[in-house]
Structure 1
Amino acid sequence: MNRPSTSAAPRGTGLAQALDGTRTLFRRAVWNDLFDQHGRLSRINVDEGSQHSLSVN
């Protein structure tokens, strides 16, 4: 009996779907937490002179 490798597994498999759904929910939650509904950064003050740059993909 052939078991498909994980890389060849269809995207709709339960585990892959669950992981993808979790990732999407997490990303959305973080995004909503960082930005208000107008797309402005709501909680993080970005200092232009700061060494740390914030990049949002």
Structure 2
Amino acid sequence: MLENGVVVVASAVVVVAAAVAIVVVVEVVIAEAVVVVAAALVVVLVVLVVVVTVVVVE
């Protein structure tokens, strides 16, 4: 169970890092900071929900 938790956390970190990279690129291309921030928050919330769900299920 502990190993699965570590894998889940590592995966979440990778996903968040990718999301941040995408947000940075989008922010450079499109200067609408509000939209970018909203999208980033949604991505982070989805990742957190998935992580919590997986941890609870296991």
What's the TM-score once normalised by structure 1's chain length? 0.45
Say which structure is richer in helix.
2
Q: Over alpha carbons, which structure has the higher Rg?
A: 1
Name which structure has the greater RCO, CA cutoff 8 Å, separation 6+. Answer: 2
